[in-house]
Chains A and B, each alone.
Chain A
Amino acid sequence: GAGVSQSPSNKVTEKGKDVELRCDPISGHTALYWYRQSLGQGLEFLIYFQGNSAPDKSGLPSDRFSAERTGGSVSTLTIQRTQQEDSAVYLCASSFHRGRTEAFFGQGTRLTVV
């Protein structure tokens, strides 16, 4: 597609359930980032993938969070045993090279944990 695509756009889940968020980056982009934005906050870095290198997981807030990127393209962010504080907009972005060019963002997935 022409841009970064995220699904679902909205997700409401019960506390304690697992959720999966999907990101389709722009074709040809080797770098893929996950960020989240909690209400009234800035963008918080979660995890970064660059090509076939080991991902930078330094931003993941707990071991309930994990992400994978299959075939260097589509990425899935998984949150296990969701908590209310996980409620946020989860944003995915992709770019040609890490940190050197602008990243293009998807529209985000709004996650609400009730």
Chain B
Amino acid sequence: DQQVKQNSPSLSVQEGRISILNCDYTNSMFDYFLWYKKYPAEGPTFLISISSIKDKNEDGRFTVFLNKSAKHLSLHIVPSQPGDSAVYFCAASASVGQNFVFGPGTRLSVLP
């Protein structure tokens, strides 16, 4: 039973356009969410996080939106750049001290 879902295994976007990566979760105890980016042969690198007390967090070209009632979050990248091509993982944790639970990832390809 996947607690964190990323239903799109892959996404292709033109350079300069917006990339929207989606993530859904089932555990209502999750209250802290993170996005990681992973290049081949490297460990995941942290991108951006959001706490459940917020519905939006922005850092440069990256914005994460959280809809608690829908148990849904999304990562927006604008404008998308070829260097953004990677696998993006959504992760969640609960304040009661659970570990980070990761989604299966979405492979983003930004086409020049």
Chain A residues proximal to chain B, CB less than 8 Å:
4, 6, 33, 35, 41-45, 48, 56, 59, 91, 93, 98-100, 102-108
Contacts and interface: CB of A to CB of B under 8 A. Distances in A.
Contacts, number: 59
A105 B89 contact: no
Interface stretch (B36-44, B58-66, B68-76): B36-44
16 contacts: A41-B104, A43-B105, A45-B100, A45-B102, A48-B99, A91-B43, A98-B97, A98-B99, A99-B97, A99-B98, A100-B95, A102-B34, A103-B100, A104-B46, A105-B45, A106-B43
Nearest to B93: A99
A99 B34 CA distance: 10
| Residue of A6, A56, A59, A103 ringed by the most chain B CB atoms within 10 A | A103
Interface size class of B (residues with CB under 8 A): 20 to 34
Interface in B3-34: 6, 32, 34
B93 A35 contact: no
B99 A102 contact: no
A42 B97 contact: no
Contact of A105 (B43, B99, B101, B105): B43
A99 B104 contact: no
B18 to A, nearest CB: 24
